[in-house]
């Protein structure tokens, strides 16, 4: 077995299970907690840990590694000759500074607040920078500490009810931007603090668009916590859709777009449950809303637009495990231009999943290469991309194996 090969958890299932138990206990997690995070029953996890059940496949191994925040897959599998660096150190270099700003609540009133217009302009520029940058976490990570501090100060200094609502809207929008930075980094509790504070500030703002955005992000936090949290995600999404529905006949473009994005999220969760009819029905509703938007419109937070619906169709087909349909949708989606670099990279990763489902593995690797070209930081933090690369690193096709290994090295997946 080469030094770059994917570890084989089947080689010694008892050792694998014991290592899961040891690392879980070091993390202070119960079997019930870990099982919930990875989407299996505590009984199944117990059988894995005590060796009564064969070690799981690669996808589940990676989910266990992510839940336990294992830095090197060799630590989990017991194969020291096969180092695969999954979660490098403390996350993004700017994570500590962003975390400190989020956790800080300065009580002194000696800081001069910015004007609402000034903070609005800075937030607008930050969103533009995120969409345009290859390394979007770096682009917004350096801006967030000051934005968070100034938004908090603006709320604290608000003199009237109207001023306070405006300030709360800007604070919620700042937390929304923060969630894009914090997502998929090794601090789940920080993600939840950001999502929940964003929702509270949005409600205080009483602004429909701000509330819709906060709900969209809070629902994603629930959904990405695992299958057992899908109902909570749907509840948040559905409540927000009901809240916005009376406004839609005369809605602004932004309100219409966030309503469409929420509608699609209901379809995405349905697809992950393999509920085919519900998934495509919600996609159709979202597509109808997108058709009411100008052709060049692009929602600053969700990327919702006419162009994004093709990418959303690929995602639905992939989650439904419809390989042929996902490839067909990918071909149609290529006719649209996704302006945001990180969203374009995410779409390429979804394409890669579809091509892999359809057994077009060379094309899947090529799609991941395109994702890297669009936004290296997107693929670097994406578990689906890592899973595909880990599988293709062991391909019997030498050319594909080399391409996968080269890309894995570029994103820091393979240890030097």
Q: What does each of the 416 residues of the chain score in pLDDT, given as a tens digit?
A: 333 444 444 444 447 888 888 888 877 778 888 888 788 888 999 998 888 887 787 778 877 887 776 766 777 776 654 455 454 444 788 999 999 999 988 776 677 888 999 999 999 999 999 999 999 999 999 999 999 999 999 999 999 999 999 999 999 999 999 999 998 887 888 999 999 999 999 999 999 999 999 999 999 999 988 778 899 999 999 999 999 999 999 999 999 999 999 999 999 999 999 999 999 999 999 999 999 999 989 999 999 999 999 999 999 999 998 989 999 998 888 767 888 999 999 999 999 999 999 999 999 999 999 999 999 999 988 888 888 888 888 788 999 999 999 998 898 876 54
The 3-state DSSP class for residue 225 equals coil
Estimate the share of the chain in helix, then strand, then coil, as percent rounded to the nearest 5. 70, 0, 30
The 3-state DSSP class for residue 18 equals helix
The residue with tokens 């870990």 is 34
Which pLDDT does position 335 carry in this prediction?
63
What contacts 141, CB < 8 A, 6 or more positions away? Answer: 92, 93, 94, 95, 97, 98, 181
Which pLDDT does position 2 carry in this prediction?
39
Separation of alpha carbons 262 and 244, rounded Å: 10
Which pLDDT does position 30 carry in this prediction?
86
Question: Is residue 324 packed enough to be buried (19+ CB in 10 Å), middle (13-18) or exposed (0-12)?
Answer: exposed
The CATH class that applies to domain 9-77 reads mainly alpha
Question: Is the distance from CB of 98 to CB of 141 less than 8 angstroms?
Answer: yes
pTM: 0.78
Separation of alpha carbons 261 and 299, rounded Å: 9
Separation of alpha carbons 36 and 32, rounded Å: 6
Side-chain-facing half-sphere of 195: CA atoms under 13 Å: 22
Question: Is the distance from CB of 408 to CB of 389 less than 8 angstroms?
Answer: yes
Separation of alpha carbons 1 and 55, rounded Å: 19
Question: Rounded to the nearest 5 degrees, what angle is found at the Cα of 382, between the Cα atoms of 378 and 388?
Answer: 120
Separation of alpha carbons 259 and 252, rounded Å: 11
Question: Is the distance from CB of 309 to CB of 260 less than 8 angstroms?
Answer: no
Which pLDDT does position 72 carry in this prediction?
67
| In 292-337, alpha helices (H) | 308-319, 323-333
Return residue ranges of the chain for CATH 1.10.260.40. 9-77
């Amino acid at each position: 077995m080469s030094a770059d090969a994917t570890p084989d958890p089947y080689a010694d299932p008892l050792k694998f299970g014991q290592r899961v138990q040891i690392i879980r206990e070091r993390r202070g997690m119960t079997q019930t907690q870990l099982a919930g995070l990875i989407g299996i029953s505590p009984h199944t996890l117990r059988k894995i840990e005590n060796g009564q059940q064969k070690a799981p496949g690669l996808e589940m191994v990676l989910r266990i590694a992510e839940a336990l925040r294992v830095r090197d897959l060799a630590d989990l599998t017991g194969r020291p000759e096969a180092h695969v660096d999954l979660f490098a150190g403390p996350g993004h270099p700017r994570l500590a500074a962003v975390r400190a700003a989020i956790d800080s609540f300065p009580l002194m009133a000696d800081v001069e607040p910015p004007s609402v217009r000034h903070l609005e302009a800075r937030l607008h520029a930050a969103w533009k920078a995120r969409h345009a940058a290859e390394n979007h976490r770096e682009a917004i990570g350096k801006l967030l500490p000051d934005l968070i501090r100034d938004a908090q100060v603006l709320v604290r200094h608000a003199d009237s009810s109207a001023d306070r609502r405006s300030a709360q809207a800007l604070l919620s929008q700042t937390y929304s931007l923060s969630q894009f930075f914090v997502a998929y980094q090794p601090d789940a509790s920080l993600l939840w603090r950001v999502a929940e504070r964003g929702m509270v500030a949005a409600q205080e703002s009483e602004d429909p668009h701000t509330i819709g955005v906060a709900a969209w992000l809070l629902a994603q936090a629930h959904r990405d916590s695992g299958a057992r949290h899908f109902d909570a995600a749907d509840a948040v999404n559905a409540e927000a859709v009901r809240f916005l529905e009376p406004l839609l006949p005369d809605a602004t473009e932004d309100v219409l777009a966030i309503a469409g994005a929420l509608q699609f999220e209901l379809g995405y969760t349905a697809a992950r449950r393999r509920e085919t009819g519900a998934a495509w029905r919600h996609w159709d509703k979202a597509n109808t809303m997108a058709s009411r938007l100008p052709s060049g419109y692009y929602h600053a937070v969700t990327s919702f637009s006419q162009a994004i619906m093709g990418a959303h169709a690929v995602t639905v087909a992939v989650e439904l495990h419809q390989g042929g349909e996902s490839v067909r949708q990918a071909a149609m989606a290529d006719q649209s231009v996704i302006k945001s670099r990180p969203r374009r990279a995410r779409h390429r990763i979804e394409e890669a999943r579809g091509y892999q489902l359809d057994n077009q593995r060379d094309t899947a690797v090529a799609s991941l290469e395109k994702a890297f070209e669009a936004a290296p930081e997107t693929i670097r933090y994406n578990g689906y991309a890592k899973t595909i690369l880990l599988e293709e690193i062991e391909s019997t096709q030498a050319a594909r194996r080399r391409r996968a290994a080269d890309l894995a090295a570029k994103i820091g997946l393979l240890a030097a």
